[in-house]
Structure 1
Amino acid sequence: MKLGFRCLPELFGLVPEPVPARSSLPDWLRAAPAMIPSETLGGAQVRGLKQCPPLIDALSLGVMFRLAADVTVQEGELSWDWEPPASLAARQTRAPIGLHVPEQAAGVPFGLPPDQFVIKFTNFWTVAAPEGVSLLFTHPLNREDLPFKTLAGMVDCDRFRDGFVHFPAIWRDPGFEGVLPAGTPVAQGFPIRREALELDCAPMSPAELAAHGKVQDGLQDDPGLYRKTYRATRA
Protein backbone atom coordinates (compact mmCIF):
# COMPACT_ATOMS: atom_id res chain seq x y z
CA MET A 1 0.00 0.00 0.00
CA LYS A 2 1.36 3.40 -0.97
CA LEU A 3 0.81 6.51 1.15
CA GLY A 4 1.68 10.01 -0.06
CA PHE A 5 3.08 12.72 2.23
CA ARG A 6 3.46 16.37 1.24
CA CYS A 7 4.68 19.45 3.11
CA LEU A 8 4.84 23.11 2.16
CA PRO A 9 7.74 23.78 -0.23
CA GLU A 10 9.38 26.16 2.26
CA LEU A 11 9.55 23.42 4.90
CA PHE A 12 10.84 20.53 2.85
CA GLY A 13 14.08 19.35 4.43
CA LEU A 14 13.42 21.36 7.59
CA VAL A 15 10.78 19.19 9.28
CA PRO A 16 11.24 15.49 10.06
CA GLU A 17 9.57 13.30 7.47
CA PRO A 18 7.16 10.55 8.50
CA VAL A 19 9.04 7.24 8.61
CA PRO A 20 8.11 3.57 8.76
CA ALA A 21 7.62 2.83 12.44
CA ARG A 22 10.11 -0.03 12.25
CA SER A 23 12.88 2.53 11.69
CA SER A 24 11.92 4.40 14.87
CA LEU A 25 12.20 1.67 17.51
CA PRO A 26 12.94 2.97 21.03
CA ASP A 27 16.40 2.76 22.55
CA TRP A 28 15.05 0.88 25.56
CA LEU A 29 14.02 -2.00 23.31
CA ARG A 30 17.52 -2.34 21.91
CA ALA A 31 18.97 -2.22 25.42
CA ALA A 32 16.49 -4.69 26.92
CA PRO A 33 17.91 -8.15 27.76
CA ALA A 34 16.78 -11.13 25.74
CA MET A 35 16.94 -13.46 28.74
CA ILE A 36 16.44 -12.45 32.37
CA PRO A 37 16.88 -14.39 35.65
CA SER A 38 13.55 -14.47 37.50
CA GLU A 39 13.57 -14.18 41.29
CA THR A 40 9.94 -15.30 41.22
CA LEU A 41 11.02 -18.57 39.61
CA GLY A 42 14.08 -19.12 41.80
CA GLY A 43 16.60 -17.62 39.38
CA ALA A 44 15.43 -19.51 36.31
CA GLN A 45 16.07 -17.75 33.00
CA VAL A 46 12.96 -16.34 31.30
CA ARG A 47 12.50 -14.69 27.91
CA GLY A 48 12.25 -10.90 28.02
CA LEU A 49 9.74 -8.77 26.15
CA LYS A 50 12.45 -8.25 23.54
CA GLN A 51 11.61 -11.77 22.38
CA CYS A 52 7.86 -11.12 22.10
CA PRO A 53 7.04 -10.88 18.37
CA PRO A 54 3.57 -9.32 18.85
CA LEU A 55 5.09 -6.49 20.92
CA ILE A 56 7.85 -5.91 18.35
CA ASP A 57 5.33 -5.97 15.49
CA ALA A 58 3.13 -3.40 17.25
CA LEU A 59 6.13 -1.09 17.69
CA SER A 60 7.07 -1.60 14.03
CA LEU A 61 3.67 -1.27 12.38
CA GLY A 62 2.53 1.67 10.29
CA VAL A 63 3.98 5.17 10.05
CA MET A 64 5.61 7.29 12.74
CA PHE A 65 5.07 11.04 12.86
CA ARG A 66 7.75 13.00 14.69
CA LEU A 67 8.16 16.24 16.61
CA ALA A 68 9.24 19.07 14.32
CA ALA A 69 11.62 20.92 16.67
CA ASP A 70 13.32 20.75 20.07
CA VAL A 71 10.81 21.64 22.79
CA THR A 72 12.03 22.67 26.24
CA VAL A 73 9.88 21.81 29.25
CA GLN A 74 10.59 23.85 32.36
CA GLU A 75 8.37 24.65 35.33
CA GLY A 76 5.30 23.52 33.44
CA GLU A 77 6.00 25.67 30.40
CA LEU A 78 6.77 24.54 26.87
CA SER A 79 9.05 26.66 24.70
CA TRP A 80 11.13 26.37 21.54
CA ASP A 81 13.68 28.32 19.57
CA TRP A 82 12.65 27.52 16.01
CA GLU A 83 11.75 29.93 13.25
CA PRO A 84 10.96 28.07 10.02
CA PRO A 85 10.22 30.21 6.97
CA ALA A 86 6.67 31.46 6.50
CA SER A 87 4.61 30.49 3.49
CA LEU A 88 2.80 33.14 1.48
CA ALA A 89 0.60 30.50 -0.16
CA ALA A 90 -0.81 28.68 2.86
CA ARG A 91 -2.24 29.34 6.32
CA GLN A 92 -0.34 27.18 8.75
CA THR A 93 1.13 27.71 12.17
CA ARG A 94 4.89 27.52 12.45
CA ALA A 95 4.72 26.39 16.08
CA PRO A 96 5.60 22.73 16.68
CA ILE A 97 3.00 22.57 19.46
CA GLY A 98 -0.42 24.19 19.81
CA LEU A 99 -3.16 23.68 22.36
CA HIS A 100 -6.82 23.15 23.10
CA VAL A 101 -8.32 25.08 26.00
CA PRO A 102 -9.25 22.99 29.09
CA GLU A 103 -13.00 23.41 28.48
CA GLN A 104 -12.72 21.39 25.27
CA ALA A 105 -11.87 18.31 27.35
CA ALA A 106 -14.71 18.79 29.83
CA GLY A 107 -16.56 15.60 30.70
CA VAL A 108 -13.94 13.19 29.34
CA PRO A 109 -12.13 10.71 31.64
CA PHE A 110 -8.55 11.67 30.78
CA GLY A 111 -7.54 12.73 34.29
CA LEU A 112 -6.85 16.27 33.09
CA PRO A 113 -6.59 18.90 35.85
CA PRO A 114 -9.17 21.69 35.43
CA ASP A 115 -6.57 24.31 34.51
CA GLN A 116 -4.40 22.19 32.21
CA PHE A 117 -4.46 22.71 28.46
CA VAL A 118 -4.58 19.82 26.01
CA ILE A 119 -1.50 20.17 23.86
CA LYS A 120 -1.59 19.56 20.12
CA PHE A 121 1.43 18.40 18.15
CA THR A 122 1.58 20.16 14.81
CA ASN A 123 1.83 17.87 11.81
CA PHE A 124 3.40 19.54 8.79
CA TRP A 125 2.54 16.75 6.35
CA THR A 126 -0.64 15.98 4.43
CA VAL A 127 -1.47 12.30 4.07
CA ALA A 128 -2.96 10.81 0.91
CA ALA A 129 -4.24 7.25 1.13
CA PRO A 130 -5.65 4.95 -1.56
CA GLU A 131 -9.40 4.93 -2.11
CA GLY A 132 -11.31 3.27 0.70
CA VAL A 133 -8.48 3.64 3.22
CA SER A 134 -8.57 5.64 6.46
CA LEU A 135 -5.71 6.21 8.88
CA LEU A 136 -5.96 5.54 12.59
CA PHE A 137 -3.64 7.93 14.44
CA THR A 138 -2.77 7.11 18.02
CA HIS A 139 -0.08 7.32 20.69
CA PRO A 140 3.07 5.42 19.63
CA LEU A 141 2.27 1.89 20.73
CA ASN A 142 3.93 0.63 23.91
CA ARG A 143 5.72 3.97 24.37
CA GLU A 144 4.76 4.57 27.98
CA ASP A 145 8.17 6.20 28.47
CA LEU A 146 6.97 9.37 26.72
CA PRO A 147 5.73 12.14 29.08
CA PHE A 148 2.57 12.71 27.05
CA LYS A 149 -0.30 10.57 25.78
CA THR A 150 -1.46 11.23 22.24
CA LEU A 151 -5.20 10.74 21.79
CA ALA A 152 -6.46 8.38 19.12
CA GLY A 153 -8.45 9.48 16.11
CA MET A 154 -9.26 8.19 12.64
CA VAL A 155 -9.30 10.28 9.46
CA ASP A 156 -10.49 9.33 5.96
CA CYS A 157 -7.22 10.23 4.28
CA ASP A 158 -8.40 9.10 0.86
CA ARG A 159 -10.80 12.07 0.92
CA PHE A 160 -9.12 14.49 3.33
CA ARG A 161 -5.81 14.28 1.50
CA ASP A 162 -5.00 17.98 1.12
CA GLY A 163 -5.33 19.07 4.75
CA PHE A 164 -3.13 18.64 7.82
CA VAL A 165 -4.07 16.22 10.61
CA HIS A 166 -2.71 17.38 13.97
CA PHE A 167 -2.36 15.27 17.11
CA PRO A 168 -3.95 16.30 20.46
CA ALA A 169 -2.27 14.88 23.54
CA ILE A 170 -2.53 14.90 27.32
CA TRP A 171 0.62 15.89 29.22
CA ARG A 172 0.71 13.10 31.79
CA ASP A 173 4.06 13.64 33.57
CA PRO A 174 3.91 16.95 35.48
CA GLY A 175 7.37 16.27 36.92
CA PHE A 176 9.09 16.05 33.56
CA GLU A 177 11.64 18.75 32.82
CA GLY A 178 14.13 18.78 29.99
CA VAL A 179 14.12 18.79 26.22
CA LEU A 180 11.90 16.78 23.91
CA PRO A 181 14.24 16.56 20.93
CA ALA A 182 13.15 17.08 17.35
CA GLY A 183 12.30 13.69 15.92
CA THR A 184 10.58 12.39 19.07
CA PRO A 185 7.74 10.08 18.02
CA VAL A 186 4.41 11.79 18.71
CA ALA A 187 1.88 9.72 16.76
CA GLN A 188 1.72 6.38 14.99
CA GLY A 189 -0.54 5.99 11.96
CA PHE A 190 -2.13 2.79 10.70
CA PRO A 191 -3.89 2.51 7.32
CA ILE A 192 -7.21 0.73 7.70
CA ARG A 193 -9.56 -0.29 4.92
CA ARG A 194 -13.14 0.81 5.52
CA GLU A 195 -14.89 -2.53 5.35
CA ALA A 196 -17.85 -3.80 7.34
CA LEU A 197 -16.92 -6.46 9.88
CA GLU A 198 -18.85 -9.68 10.21
CA LEU A 199 -18.41 -11.47 13.53
CA ASP A 200 -18.75 -15.24 13.73
CA CYS A 201 -18.83 -16.51 17.34
CA ALA A 202 -19.33 -20.22 18.09
CA PRO A 203 -17.89 -23.04 20.21
CA MET A 204 -14.92 -24.90 18.75
CA SER A 205 -15.79 -27.84 16.54
CA PRO A 206 -13.94 -31.13 17.21
CA ALA A 207 -11.52 -30.33 14.35
CA GLU A 208 -10.93 -26.81 15.63
CA LEU A 209 -10.39 -28.11 19.17
CA ALA A 210 -7.82 -30.61 17.89
CA ALA A 211 -6.02 -27.86 15.94
CA HIS A 212 -6.03 -25.64 19.03
CA GLY A 213 -4.50 -28.43 21.11
CA LYS A 214 -1.78 -28.91 18.51
CA VAL A 215 -0.87 -25.21 18.65
CA GLN A 216 -0.83 -25.15 22.45
CA ASP A 217 1.39 -28.23 22.62
CA GLY A 218 3.72 -26.78 20.01
CA LEU A 219 4.07 -23.47 21.87
CA GLN A 220 4.83 -25.37 25.06
CA ASP A 221 7.58 -27.40 23.38
CA ASP A 222 9.03 -24.54 21.33
CA PRO A 223 8.61 -20.96 22.64
CA GLY A 224 9.71 -19.60 19.23
CA LEU A 225 7.02 -21.48 17.29
CA TYR A 226 4.82 -18.43 16.67
CA ARG A 227 7.69 -16.42 15.21
CA LYS A 228 8.91 -19.29 13.02
CA THR A 229 5.59 -20.73 11.87
CA TYR A 230 2.62 -18.41 12.34
CA ARG A 231 4.04 -14.91 12.02
CA ALA A 232 3.55 -13.33 8.59
CA THR A 233 6.54 -12.10 6.61
CA ARG A 234 7.14 -8.40 7.25
CA ALA A 235 7.95 -6.07 4.37
Structure 2
Amino acid sequence: MSNNNEAITIKFRCPAELEGKIPPPMPASLGLPGWLKAMPTQAFNTMSNREEDTVKRCPPFVDAMTSGFLLPLICDLKVENGAITWDNDLPAGGALEFPRSPVGFHDESQVVGSPLFEPDRFVIKFVNLWTIEAPPGYSLFFTHPVNRFDLPFTTLTGMVDCDLFHDSWVHFPARWHDTSFNGVLPKGTPVAQCFPVKRENWVAQTAAMTPDETSRAQELTNRMARESGLYRRQFRT
Protein backbone atom coordinates (compact mmCIF):
# COMPACT_ATOMS: atom_id res chain seq x y z
CA MET A 1 0.00 0.00 0.00
CA SER A 2 1.10 3.60 -0.41
CA ASN A 3 3.22 5.09 2.35
CA ASN A 4 1.10 8.25 2.56
CA ASN A 5 -2.08 6.23 3.13
CA GLU A 6 -3.77 7.56 0.00
CA ALA A 7 -6.63 5.51 -1.38
CA ILE A 8 -5.77 3.14 -4.22
CA THR A 9 -8.49 2.62 -6.81
CA ILE A 10 -9.90 -0.65 -8.11
CA LYS A 11 -11.97 0.05 -11.25
CA PHE A 12 -15.14 -1.97 -11.87
CA ARG A 13 -16.80 -1.54 -15.27
CA CYS A 14 -19.96 -3.09 -16.70
CA PRO A 15 -21.45 -3.00 -20.23
CA ALA A 16 -23.32 0.25 -20.80
CA GLU A 17 -26.59 -1.66 -21.25
CA LEU A 18 -26.30 -3.03 -17.72
CA GLU A 19 -25.52 0.16 -15.83
CA GLY A 20 -28.09 0.49 -13.05
CA LYS A 21 -29.57 -2.95 -13.85
CA ILE A 22 -27.10 -5.19 -11.99
CA PRO A 23 -25.93 -4.68 -8.42
CA PRO A 24 -22.48 -3.12 -8.19
CA PRO A 25 -19.50 -4.46 -6.27
CA MET A 26 -19.23 -2.87 -2.86
CA PRO A 27 -16.67 -2.36 -0.13
CA ALA A 28 -16.91 -5.41 2.10
CA SER A 29 -17.47 -3.14 5.10
CA LEU A 30 -20.89 -2.27 3.64
CA GLY A 31 -21.96 -5.87 3.09
CA LEU A 32 -21.84 -7.40 6.55
CA PRO A 33 -24.41 -10.16 7.10
CA GLY A 34 -27.39 -9.68 9.36
CA TRP A 35 -26.29 -12.42 11.73
CA LEU A 36 -23.06 -10.55 12.57
CA LYS A 37 -24.94 -7.32 13.22
CA ALA A 38 -27.47 -9.13 15.40
CA MET A 39 -25.15 -11.33 17.45
CA PRO A 40 -24.15 -10.20 20.95
CA THR A 41 -20.69 -8.86 21.72
CA GLN A 42 -20.52 -11.04 24.84
CA ALA A 43 -21.95 -14.39 25.89
CA PHE A 44 -21.78 -16.58 28.97
CA ASN A 45 -18.91 -19.09 28.85
CA THR A 46 -19.85 -22.18 30.86
CA MET A 47 -16.20 -23.29 31.05
CA SER A 48 -14.94 -20.06 32.63
CA ASN A 49 -18.29 -19.33 34.33
CA ARG A 50 -18.31 -15.71 33.19
CA GLU A 51 -19.31 -13.41 30.32
CA GLU A 52 -16.69 -13.30 27.56
CA ASP A 53 -16.32 -11.62 24.18
CA THR A 54 -17.78 -13.27 21.10
CA VAL A 55 -16.16 -13.21 17.66
CA LYS A 56 -18.04 -9.98 17.02
CA ARG A 57 -15.38 -8.33 19.17
CA CYS A 58 -12.49 -10.22 17.57
CA PRO A 59 -10.70 -7.69 15.31
CA PRO A 60 -9.01 -10.27 13.02
CA PHE A 61 -12.37 -12.00 12.43
CA VAL A 62 -14.20 -8.76 11.64
CA ASP A 63 -11.34 -7.04 9.79
CA ALA A 64 -11.11 -9.93 7.35
CA MET A 65 -14.84 -9.65 6.67
CA THR A 66 -14.68 -5.88 6.12
CA SER A 67 -11.59 -5.77 3.89
CA GLY A 68 -11.58 -5.71 0.11
CA PHE A 69 -14.69 -5.81 -2.06
CA LEU A 70 -17.72 -8.06 -2.47
CA LEU A 71 -18.96 -9.22 -5.87
CA PRO A 72 -22.75 -9.73 -6.01
CA LEU A 73 -25.14 -12.23 -7.54
CA ILE A 74 -26.74 -10.52 -10.56
CA CYS A 75 -30.33 -11.78 -10.02
CA ASP A 76 -32.42 -14.04 -7.79
CA LEU A 77 -31.67 -17.76 -7.97
CA LYS A 78 -34.48 -20.18 -7.16
CA VAL A 79 -33.29 -23.56 -5.94
CA GLU A 80 -35.75 -26.42 -5.71
CA ASN A 81 -34.80 -30.07 -5.29
CA GLY A 82 -31.37 -29.48 -6.74
CA ALA A 83 -32.62 -27.54 -9.77
CA ILE A 84 -31.56 -23.91 -10.22
CA THR A 85 -33.80 -21.49 -12.13
CA TRP A 86 -33.88 -17.73 -12.56
CA ASP A 87 -35.77 -14.94 -14.26
CA ASN A 88 -34.03 -11.72 -15.14
CA ASP A 89 -34.77 -8.81 -17.43
CA LEU A 90 -31.25 -8.07 -18.61
CA PRO A 91 -31.08 -6.66 -22.13
CA ALA A 92 -29.19 -8.41 -24.88
CA GLY A 93 -25.62 -7.37 -25.53
CA GLY A 94 -24.86 -4.63 -28.03
CA ALA A 95 -21.32 -3.81 -29.08
CA LEU A 96 -20.15 -6.20 -26.38
CA GLU A 97 -21.63 -9.65 -25.98
CA PHE A 98 -22.16 -10.88 -22.44
CA PRO A 99 -23.92 -13.82 -20.76
CA ARG A 100 -27.39 -13.13 -19.42
CA SER A 101 -27.57 -16.14 -17.13
CA PRO A 102 -26.38 -15.67 -13.52
CA VAL A 103 -24.73 -19.09 -13.36
CA GLY A 104 -22.84 -21.49 -15.57
CA PHE A 105 -21.39 -24.91 -14.91
CA HIS A 106 -18.11 -26.82 -14.99
CA ASP A 107 -18.26 -30.49 -15.85
CA GLU A 108 -17.20 -32.88 -13.10
CA SER A 109 -14.21 -33.94 -15.24
CA GLN A 110 -12.56 -30.58 -14.56
CA VAL A 111 -12.13 -31.42 -10.87
CA VAL A 112 -11.49 -35.16 -11.12
CA GLY A 113 -8.83 -36.24 -8.63
CA SER A 114 -9.61 -33.32 -6.30
CA PRO A 115 -11.79 -33.21 -3.15
CA LEU A 116 -14.34 -31.26 -5.23
CA PHE A 117 -15.12 -34.25 -7.42
CA GLU A 118 -18.42 -36.07 -7.07
CA PRO A 119 -19.86 -38.29 -9.80
CA ASP A 120 -22.74 -36.72 -11.73
CA ARG A 121 -22.35 -33.40 -9.96
CA PHE A 122 -21.41 -30.14 -11.64
CA VAL A 123 -19.31 -27.34 -10.17
CA ILE A 124 -21.39 -24.19 -10.60
CA LYS A 125 -19.92 -20.90 -11.84
CA PHE A 126 -21.30 -17.55 -10.75
CA VAL A 127 -21.32 -15.13 -13.65
CA ASN A 128 -19.71 -11.75 -13.02
CA LEU A 129 -20.50 -8.95 -15.47
CA TRP A 130 -18.02 -6.42 -14.09
CA THR A 131 -14.53 -6.16 -15.52
CA ILE A 132 -12.00 -5.40 -12.81
CA GLU A 133 -8.85 -3.32 -13.18
CA ALA A 134 -6.18 -3.16 -10.50
CA PRO A 135 -3.32 -0.65 -10.36
CA PRO A 136 0.03 -1.63 -11.92
CA GLY A 137 1.82 -4.28 -9.89
CA TYR A 138 -1.32 -5.53 -8.14
CA SER A 139 -3.17 -8.82 -8.46
CA LEU A 140 -6.57 -9.62 -7.00
CA PHE A 141 -7.09 -12.53 -4.63
CA PHE A 142 -10.63 -13.88 -5.08
CA THR A 143 -12.17 -16.17 -2.50
CA HIS A 144 -15.42 -17.14 -0.77
CA PRO A 145 -16.92 -14.23 1.21
CA VAL A 146 -14.95 -14.40 4.43
CA ASN A 147 -16.59 -16.22 7.35
CA ARG A 148 -19.87 -16.56 5.43
CA PHE A 149 -20.52 -20.14 6.53
CA ASP A 150 -24.24 -19.40 6.25
CA LEU A 151 -24.14 -19.41 2.45
CA PRO A 152 -25.15 -22.70 0.77
CA PHE A 153 -22.14 -22.67 -1.56
CA THR A 154 -18.38 -22.31 -1.25
CA THR A 155 -16.62 -20.18 -3.84
CA LEU A 156 -13.27 -21.49 -5.01
CA THR A 157 -10.18 -19.36 -4.42
CA GLY A 158 -8.05 -17.91 -7.20
CA MET A 159 -5.59 -15.13 -8.02
CA VAL A 160 -5.85 -12.98 -11.16
CA ASP A 161 -3.36 -10.38 -12.41
CA CYS A 162 -6.05 -7.76 -12.94
CA ASP A 163 -3.58 -4.98 -13.68
CA LEU A 164 -2.99 -6.72 -17.02
CA PHE A 165 -6.15 -8.81 -17.44
CA HIS A 166 -8.94 -6.25 -17.09
CA ASP A 167 -10.84 -6.15 -20.38
CA SER A 168 -12.81 -9.36 -19.86
CA TRP A 169 -14.72 -11.16 -17.15
CA VAL A 170 -13.54 -13.02 -14.07
CA HIS A 171 -16.23 -15.55 -13.14
CA PHE A 172 -16.38 -17.49 -9.87
CA PRO A 173 -16.55 -21.30 -9.72
CA ALA A 174 -18.20 -22.62 -6.58
CA ARG A 175 -19.29 -25.86 -4.99
CA TRP A 176 -22.92 -25.98 -3.89
CA HIS A 177 -22.40 -27.81 -0.62
CA ASP A 178 -25.87 -27.51 0.94
CA THR A 179 -27.74 -30.09 -1.11
CA SER A 180 -30.81 -29.74 1.14
CA PHE A 181 -31.19 -26.02 0.38
CA ASN A 182 -34.54 -25.07 -1.11
CA GLY A 183 -35.47 -21.44 -1.55
CA VAL A 184 -34.27 -18.22 -3.14
CA LEU A 185 -30.74 -16.90 -3.11
CA PRO A 186 -31.44 -13.17 -3.46
CA LYS A 187 -30.02 -10.79 -6.03
CA GLY A 188 -27.02 -9.01 -4.50
CA THR A 189 -25.91 -11.95 -2.35
CA PRO A 190 -22.12 -11.79 -2.21
CA VAL A 191 -20.64 -14.65 -4.21
CA ALA A 192 -16.96 -13.68 -3.95
CA GLN A 193 -14.68 -11.35 -2.05
CA CYS A 194 -11.53 -9.86 -3.55
CA PHE A 195 -8.43 -8.42 -1.95
CA PRO A 196 -5.75 -6.40 -3.76
CA VAL A 197 -2.33 -8.02 -3.40
CA LYS A 198 0.86 -6.26 -4.41
CA ARG A 199 3.18 -8.57 -6.31
CA GLU A 200 6.54 -8.70 -4.53
CA ASN A 201 9.27 -11.25 -4.00
CA TRP A 202 9.17 -12.87 -0.57
CA VAL A 203 11.46 -15.31 1.21
CA ALA A 204 10.89 -17.11 4.50
CA GLN A 205 13.37 -16.74 7.33
CA THR A 206 13.26 -19.01 10.37
CA ALA A 207 15.24 -18.69 13.56
CA ALA A 208 15.07 -19.48 17.25
CA MET A 209 13.99 -16.62 19.47
CA THR A 210 16.75 -14.61 21.09
CA PRO A 211 16.55 -14.02 24.85
CA ASP A 212 15.26 -10.50 24.18
CA GLU A 213 12.61 -11.75 21.76
CA THR A 214 11.59 -14.43 24.25
CA SER A 215 11.18 -11.81 26.96
CA ARG A 216 9.09 -9.55 24.73
CA ALA A 217 6.88 -12.44 23.66
CA GLN A 218 6.25 -13.49 27.25
CA GLU A 219 5.53 -9.92 28.31
CA LEU A 220 3.00 -9.45 25.51
CA THR A 221 1.37 -12.79 26.29
CA ASN A 222 0.98 -11.77 29.93
CA ARG A 223 -0.44 -8.35 28.97
CA MET A 224 -2.99 -9.91 26.63
CA ALA A 225 -4.14 -12.20 29.43
CA ARG A 226 -4.54 -9.24 31.81
CA GLU A 227 -5.88 -6.53 29.50
CA SER A 228 -9.00 -7.22 27.49
CA GLY A 229 -8.96 -5.68 24.01
CA LEU A 230 -5.21 -4.97 23.99
CA TYR A 231 -4.76 -5.87 20.33
CA ARG A 232 -7.69 -3.67 19.32
CA ARG A 233 -6.39 -0.68 21.29
CA GLN A 234 -2.66 -0.86 20.63
CA PHE A 235 -1.95 -2.86 17.49
CA ARG A 236 -4.95 -2.67 15.16
CA THR A 237 -4.62 -0.29 12.23
TM-score, scaled relative to structure 2: 0.94
Return the match for 2:40 from 25, 33, 37.
33
Aligned to 1:118: 123
Aligned to 1:82: 88
Q: For the aligned residues, what is the CA RMSD?
A: 1.0
1:16 aligns with 2:23: yes
Within 5 Å, which residues of 2 pair with 1:31-110?
Answer: 31-41=38-48, 43-110=49-116
Aligned to 2:3: none
Please list every run of 5 or more consecutive structure 2 residues that lacks an aligned counterpart in the other structure.
1-7
Hey, what's the Cα distance between the residues in 1 that align with 2:112 and 2:95? 36
Q: Deviations over 1:103-126 (max 9, x none)?
A: 11211112x421111110000100
| SS of 2:208 mapped into structure 1 | coil
Please list every run of 5 or more consecutive structure 1 residues that lacks an aligned counterpart in the other structure.
none
**Aligned-partner residue type, residue 212 of structure 2:** A
Hey, what's the Cα distance between the residues in 2 that align with 1:47 and 1:70? 36
**Aligned-partner residue type, residue 45 of structure 1:** E
**Aligned-partner residue type, residue 7 of structure 1:** C
Per the TM alignment, residue 40 of structure 1 is displaced from its structure 2 partner at its CA by: 2.7
Aligned to 2:4: none
Per the TM alignment, residue 92 of structure 1 is displaced from its structure 2 partner at its CA by: 1.4
**Aligned-partner residue type, residue 87 of structure 2:** D
Return the match for 1:135 from 113, 137, 140.
140
Per the TM alignment, residue 215 of structure 1 is displaced from its structure 2 partner at its CA by: 1.1
Aligned to 2:151: 146
Hey, what's the Cα distance between the residues in 2 that align with 1:37 and 1:23? 29
| SS of 1:154 mapped into structure 2 | strand
Hey, what's the Cα distance between the residues in 2 that align with 1:70 and 1:216? 48
**Aligned-partner residue type, residue 5 of structure 1:** F
Per the TM alignment, residue 212 of structure 1 is displaced from its structure 2 partner at its CA by: 1.1
Return the match for 1:225 from 211, 222, 230.
230
**Aligned-partner residue type, residue 53 of structure 1:** P
| SS of 1:136 mapped into structure 2 | strand
Aligned to 1:182: 187
| SS of 1:179 mapped into structure 2 | strand
Q: Deviations over 1:11-47 (max 9, x none)?
A: 0111111101111011111111111112233x42121
- Percent of pairs with identical residues: 46
Q: Deviations over 1:83-137 (max 9, x none)?
A: 2001121121110111111211211112x42111111000010011111100010
Per the TM alignment, residue 223 of structure 1 is displaced from its structure 2 partner at its CA by: 1.7
| SS of 2:110 mapped into structure 1 | helix
Q: Deviations over 1:144-201 (max 9, x none)?
A: 1100000001100000011110000000000000000001010000110111112121
**Aligned-partner residue type, residue 88 of structure 2:** W
